[in-house]
Amino acid sequence: MNFGVGRRSFFRRERQPTERPRTAASAGQATTETVLLLPMFVFFLYAFAKIFAALVLIQKMEIASYYAARRWQLESHRNYAYVGHDEGVLAIDIKKRVADYLGYGTPIGKFLDLDGGAPVLTIERTQVWQVVYLRVRTKPVAVSWMYKSKGFDFEITKYVPNRDRPIAFELPGMK
């Protein structure tokens, strides 16, 4: 048996007599387009993922602020004797749980570009409402030579009523 003599070789494609030879311009065109378009595709995919991450962060902030406001409403005290416990133990525990839920110190928090060690949770007492502010700062977005931004500040405010019995409303002089 004589392989490759007078026959078409298995490993090498021979040019047909009617086929024109390839030129340098037409050789590898699809590869060139793929190499040039792949970085753009990866960039747009990354940008889309970061925009989606910002939307997820805002939704997580809404849920965390609702949790903080509701828990503060139900577990805090109006009596001045318990203010130390409320602003000490209760507020610290709420802040810790909110930070854990948002993803501080986890790979999720790194993907969300959370800046700082914890969110800023501020609780303000007033006569009728208790105002709960949740502020989260993200790291600046930087794409080396194309784009650089400042970090974003997101703030959510929740108003919760004091947990007292409502006072009967009476118009003056209408008894």
**pLDDT single digits (tens) 45-92:** 888 888 898 899 999 999 999 999 999 888 887 777 777 788 889 999
Asked if 102 and 119 touch (Cβ cutoff 8 Å), the reply is: yes
The larger pLDDT score, comparing residue 122 to residue 30, is at 122
Residue 150 contacts residue 159 (beta carbons within 8 Å): no
- The more confident residue out of 103 and 173 is 103
Lowest mean pLDDT among 35-39, 91-95, 158-162: 35-39
- Looking at residue 133, its amino acid is Y
In this predicted structure, what is the pLDDT of residue 47?
83
Q: How much is the pLDDT for 88?
A: 86
Integer CA distances (angstroms), 60 to 83, 142, 159, in order? 28, 24, 18
- What CA–CA distance (Å, rounded) separates 168 from 131? 24
How far CA 166 is from CA of 20, 50, 69, 79, 105, in Å, comes to 93, 46, 19, 17, 42
Domain chopping of the chain, boundaries: 33-161
The reported pTM is 0.68
Cα-based distances in Å from 168 to 82, 126, 130: 26, 20, 21
Q: Within its chain, how far is the Cα of 150 from the centroid?
A: 16
